[in-house]
Structure formats: C-alpha cells, structure tokens
Amino acid sequence: MAARTLKGMDSSGAHAKKACEESLRELRVDCIDLCELPTCCHPDSPIKETIRALAELKAQNQTHRPCKISSPITAVQTEYSSLARDSEFPLSHQPPLHLPRPQHPHHLLLPLGRDLLSGIITSPSTSPRVPDVDARTTHIPWFSAETFDANMNWWTGGRNLLRKSGVSSQLALA
C-alpha cells in the first residue's frame, strides 16, 4: 500500500510509527516524551488509525504519554500568528468541544504565518522549501493568487509601522 500524502505530508499510522522509530534511533534514546500528529492530516488517513499507531508505541514503552482515543489528549497544537488567531477565544466562553480544556499545554505552531511574515516569501510560488511538495500554495488561502498580494501589502504596512516605531518585526512572535 502506498503512503498516503497531502503534498508531501504523510499522516498515516504507519508513517507515524516509522517517524517515531527513526527519532528514537537518531536521538539514541529508548523513549521519547511527546509524539505530535501532523497539523495537516490527509483525508484518506483516518485520525483513529494514526492515534492507534501512537497508542501501540506507548504500549511498547517508546513514548511516555498515552495517545489513544479512550484517554484524554495531553496537549493541543494550533497555528497562531498575526494572521491566524483562531485559537483565541474569550475566557468566559468554553473552547470548542474538540479542544481539550485550558489545563492542557498549548503548543503554538507557525508563528510567522507559514513564512508569509518572515520576509522570505515574495510571491505565492516563492518558498524556502521545495515548491512541488508545498501545500501552502494550493491549500492555504493566504497564499492563493486571489489573496496573496493583499496579504503582502498588509504585512508590508505592518513592518513599516514597526520600523517607524523602532520596534523589531519580531513583535509578530510576541
């Protein structure tokens, strides 16, 4: 069976196991503390399959934290940047049902807006990665032909304002 990928992202259970085993070998350790699922799962790779594979690793004592459907998720990783603030919600409201409650660690992902805010990308096809395996240009609205110029103009204006104020553009990370 061929690996299931979405523009280079393999979210299958078999790949999760292989990646964990490679990490153990490269790190020269017997156990790793945390396994994270990819943020972009392929629709043909059921999340249950991937979590089941991680649960098998846990059963083999290769991961410390349990990753299985019947136990709570131990951490949440969400995209967060000046462009993506979906993970913010008023403290008076409950988070969406699929998210663990606030007592769980929250890992912020892609604070530079998938490199859009880094200054590296100057057009939708410019990428520090290999363009033919980059899902940004086909799956992320910020990089679409219809919105890219407006997003770049917005960020250029923001950068100019930060420069005039004497504030580093690293404020995007704060």
**Averaged over 54-71, what is the pLDDT?**
61
Closest to 37 in 3D by CA, of 4, 65, 77: 77
Average pLDDT over every residue of 21-42: 75
The answer to whether 50 touches 16, Cβ cutoff 8 Å, is yes
Residues sharing a CB contact under 8 Å with residue 145, sequence separation 6 or more, in sequence order: 124
% of the chain with per-residue pLDDT over 70: 55
Q: What is the pLDDT of residues 88-132, one digit of tens each?
A: 654 444 555 454 455 666 677 777 777 777 777 777 666 555 455
Q: What is the pTM of this model?
A: 0.48
Q: Residue 161 — pLDDT band, cuts 50, 70, 90?
A: confident
User: How is residue 98 written in tokens?
Assistant: 């699929």
* pLDDT higher than 80, residue 14: yes
Residue pair 158/82 in contact (Cβ under 8 Å)? The answer is yes
Predicted confidence band at 3 (pLDDT cuts at 50, 70, 90)?
Answer: very low
Task: Using the predicted structure, report yes or no on whether residue 66 has a pLDDT greater than 50.
Answer: no
Confidence of residue 15 (pLDDT cuts 50, 70, 90): confident
